[in-house]
Amino acid sequence: MKVQPRKTFAQVPFLDFLRRALEIVKNPLPFHHDNFEKKGDTFQLNLGFGNKIVFSRNASFLQYVLQKNQKNYTKSKVQTRDLAKYIGQGLLTAEGAHWKRQRKLIQPTFHKKHLTQLLGIMHETINEELSKIPVGKKVDIEPYFGRLAFQVVAKSLFSGAVDENTISRLQEIVEATQKMLVKELRQPYLGWWFKGSGLIRKHFSMVAEARQTIESLIVQRKNNKASKGDLLDMLLDARYDDGSAMEMNQMIDEILILFIAGHETTSNALTFVCQLLARHTTYQDLIFEENNIAAYEDDMTQLMGQKITKQVLEEAMRLYPPAYFIDRTNYEEDIFEGTVIPPATPLLFSVIEIHHSEKYWEDPEKFMPERFEGQPNQHSGYYFPFGAGPRMCIGNNFAMFEMQLVISELLKKFTISSNQKTIEILPLITLKPKNAILEFKSR
C-alpha cells in the first residue's frame, strides 16, 4: 500500500522577502496580498536562517485554530513575552491555567447587566470630550478619539477618583510603551542599541511609574470603602472559586491590559467610522434620525434600539479591523485540510484579507452597512473584529456600547465632511488611521 505524500504549504522564498524588505517595514500588507493572489489563501514565508511563518486568509482555518482545536494553539511570543514584559500577565498576555482562572474571574464584570452601571459615566465622559472637537476647522481627528477612549476607560475604572493630570500621564506612558514595542518588533537588529542607549530601561521605568499610580488608586479605594459601582469596584469584589480575591500585582496587570486593549483599538475604529461617514453622508442623516426620533427611557434602551448606528460600526470594522491580524503557534503537529502543520509553527491570520475577500462578501470593497441586517451572527464564520472562540475579546460589549454612544452623540451635534479622496492606513500592532483630516460643522 502506497503512503500518500503529506501536503505542505505553498512557499514564498526568502529572496522575495529580501527584495521588498524596505517596503515591508513601512507597510507589509501589499506584500502579503500579492502572495495570497499568487500562492493561494495560505502560504509559508521563509525569512532566512530557518525562520518561517505561515500566513493565511482562510476563514475556516482561522475558525479551526480559534475554536475547533483551540487547545493545541497558543498566542505568539509577541504577546506572551514581548508585550508581557511591559504590562505583565493579564488576560491579553496570559496563557494556560492562569489565563483560564483570570478569564473565569473577570468575565462577569463585562456582562451587559454590569455594564449598564457604567453607561452614565461613559455618556458624561463622551459628551465632555466631544465638546473639545474644533468646529469649522480641518483637524486630524485621531488624537481626539485617542484621548476620548482613554478617558472613558480611566473613568469607567476609577470614576471621579482620578484627576486629569494623572489620566494624561497614564495615557502618555501606555502610548509610549506601545511605540517602543513596535520599534523592537520592526527593528530587531537594533536590539543592542535599544538596550545600550537606555531606551528599554527608560520605558521600564515609565511602566513602574504607571503601576505605582494604579496601585495608589486601588489602595485609596480599599481604604475609602465607598462603592462607586465602577469597574474597579467590580474587580475588587470578584472572587475565585476558593473565595479569594485578586492579588495587587495581578489587578494592576489587568488594569494595564484594559488601558491598552480598551483605548487604541476603539480610537482607531471611531476614526475610520467618521472617515467613512464623511464619504457616505446619507448614513449621517440616518443615524441622526434614529437617535432623535425615539424617546428612549435610558442609555441601554437606546443602545439596544440602535440598528443603523450598529450596522455602520460593524461595516467600518469589516473594512478597517483595528485588530487586523491574529497570531497563534501550535503545541503539537496538526493537520488541516490535508496539510501538515509541524509543531511550533508560527501562524498569522490576516483578518483584513478575510474581511475583503470575495469568497465571503458581496462587493467587499463597498461600504454597505445594510449587509449586517438580519441575524446577529450571520457572518460569524468569516467576520472577526473581536476574534472568536474562548479568547474572543472580553471587552467587546464595552467597546460596542462606547462606540455606539460616541457616534450617536457626535451626529447629534455635528455633520462630518472631508476633502480627502482616500483613507490612509498605518499597520502597526493595530491598524491605525493616518492623516484622518475631517471637518466638523454644528448642526
Q: Tell me: the pLDDT tens digits for 209-219? A: 999 999 999 99
Distance of CA 322 to the CA centre of its chain: 5
Residues 270 and 356 reside in one and the same domain:
no
- How is residue 414 written as a grid cell? 455635528
Residues 227 and 295 in one domain: yes
- Domain end marker among 354, 384, 414: 384
Amino acid at residue number 116: T
Final residue before a domain boundary, out of 336, 359, 384:
384
Burial 157-167 (b: 16+ CB within 10 A, else e): bbbebbeeebb
Q: Which residue has the cell 502506497?
A: 2
Same domain assignment for residues 242 and 174 = yes
269 and 123 both lie in a single domain: yes
> Residue 420 is part of a domain; what is its CATH number?
1.10.630.10
Cα 348 to Cα 4, 47, 58, 119, 166, distances in angstroms: 28, 14, 11, 36, 37
Residue 191: predicted pLDDT: 83
* Extended beta strands in 231-383, E state: 325-330, 334-336, 339-341, 346-350
Residue by residue, DSSP assigns 65-92 as IIIITGGGEE--HIIIIIIHHHH-SSTT
Torsion of CA 33, 34, 39, 40, to 10 degrees: 30
CATH assignment of the domain containing 338: 3.30.43.20
Q: Report which secondary-structure segment, H or E, holds 137.
A: none
- 42, part of any domain: yes
For 163, the enclosing helix (H) or strand (E) is: none
What letter would DSSP give residue 383? -
Cα–Cα separations (whole angstroms), residue 318 to 43, 255, 305, 312? 23, 28, 22, 10
Same domain, 117 and 185: yes
- Ranges of residues in the chain whose predicted pLDDT is under 50: 1
Q: Which domain holds residue 185?
A: 105-320+394-443
For residue 43, the surrounding DSSP H or E stretch is: strand 42-48
Task: Give the residue carrying C-alpha cell 491570520.
Answer: 349
Separation between Cα atoms, residue 315 and residue 356, nearest integer Å: 11
Q: How confident is the model at residue 294, as a pLDDT?
A: 63
| Domain identity same for 196 and 290 | yes
Phi, psi of 138 (to 5 degrees): -80, 125
- Cα radius of gyration rounded to whole Å, the chain: 22
Dig out the grid coordinates for 165 from the structure: 493630570
Q: Specify whether the backbone of 11 is left (phi greater than 0), alpha (psi in -120 to 50) or beta.
A: beta
Supply the pLDDT for residue 325: 95
- 381 class by beta-carbon count within 10 Å (0-12 exposed, 13-18 middle, 19+ buried): middle
Residue 100 lies in a domain: no
Whether residue 263 lies inside any domain: the answer is yes
Within-domain flag for 79: yes
Residue 128 resides in a domain: yes
- Domain check: are 356 and 231 in the same one? no
Q: Last residue of a domain, which of 384, 405, 423?
A: 384
Q: Quick one: angle between helices 164-186 and 199-224, nearest 10? A: 140
What does residue 174 show for φ and ψ, rounded to 5 degrees? Answer: -60, -45
Residue appearing with cell numbers 538596550? 195
Choose among 326, 346, 345: nearest CA to 391.
326
Q: C-alpha cell of 176?
A: 509610549
* 240 residue type, one letter: Y
Regarding whether 294 and 192 lie in a shared domain, the answer is yes
Q: Both 220 and 266 in a single domain?
A: yes
212 and 197, same structural domain? yes
333: in domain: yes
Q: Is residue 249 part of a domain?
A: yes
Total domains in the fold of the chain = 2
Same domain flag for 240 and 135: yes
pLDDT at 114: 85
Grid cell 475604572 in the structure block, residue: 157
316 with 328, same domain: the answer is no
Place of cell 503545541: 331
Cell numbers given for 365:
470593497
CB 247 within 8 A of CB 117: no
Phi, psi of 359 (to 5 degrees): -65, -30
Under 8 Å between Cβ of 126 and 406: yes
Phi, psi angle pair for 26, to nearest 5°: -75, -45
- The answer to whether residue 95 is domain-embedded is no
